[in-house]
Structure 1
Amino acid sequence: MNLFAKNDKRQFPRRPAFIIADYTVREGTFRDIIKNIGARGVFISTWRKIAQGQPIELRFPVFEFDDPLTIRGTVVLSNVKGFSVVFDHPIDGLICKEGEFPEIVHESER
């Protein structure tokens, strides 16, 4: 599957999220909000211009606030609303089983 093609269907579904993520790209290290998440990727809302096609390292909580995950991926889409990332490896705990999306943390629950 070509991860960069806009018309490709996602391998794993995503769900809305509100999670603060730290990330490092060529432009620097920043903190912004994950707006949707799935086992294979995220969309991060930001006003920053993040170049498409570059590697990224992210750090954010998924299942527990005190246990953040560090994951690497590639920025596959960037626009005025933010950017999309496809992870190098899926997050196992986010793979939907029987149509049910697992529980994740949300900043509004702090």
Structure 2
Amino acid sequence: MAPTPDQYQVALQALRNDADKWEQCSADLGAAKGTADGLDLAALHFSYVADKLGVTALYQQFQTKMVGLLGEGQTMSANVATALRESAQTYQQEEESGVHRMNNVW
């Protein structure tokens, strides 16, 4: 049984709403990445002993890793949003083409 026009519209809107949420997630991750990238702590921010034990280097490695992971999350979230929008557009185009073909048959 084919979906009703209302069900079809609800499904398309759901895809687009989900895409908006993924896009917002991408923006949030981008903002977090920018903040994380700006949090620079140098040796002077740690005690002499902590710096000598490698805390400064460890912090810098951690920061680099977090910035990278946030950037990857931002990219992947944007990709999901794009895929959802493209899916909605494809479904809409196929439905409109199918309706047009059916109208031409009758």
RCO (CA 8 Å, sep 6+): is it higher in 1 or 2? 2
Structure with greater strand percent: 1
TM-score (norm: length of structure 2)? 0.18
TM-score (norm: length of structure 1)? 0.17
- Which structure would you say has the larger Rg? 2
Structure with greater helix percent: 2
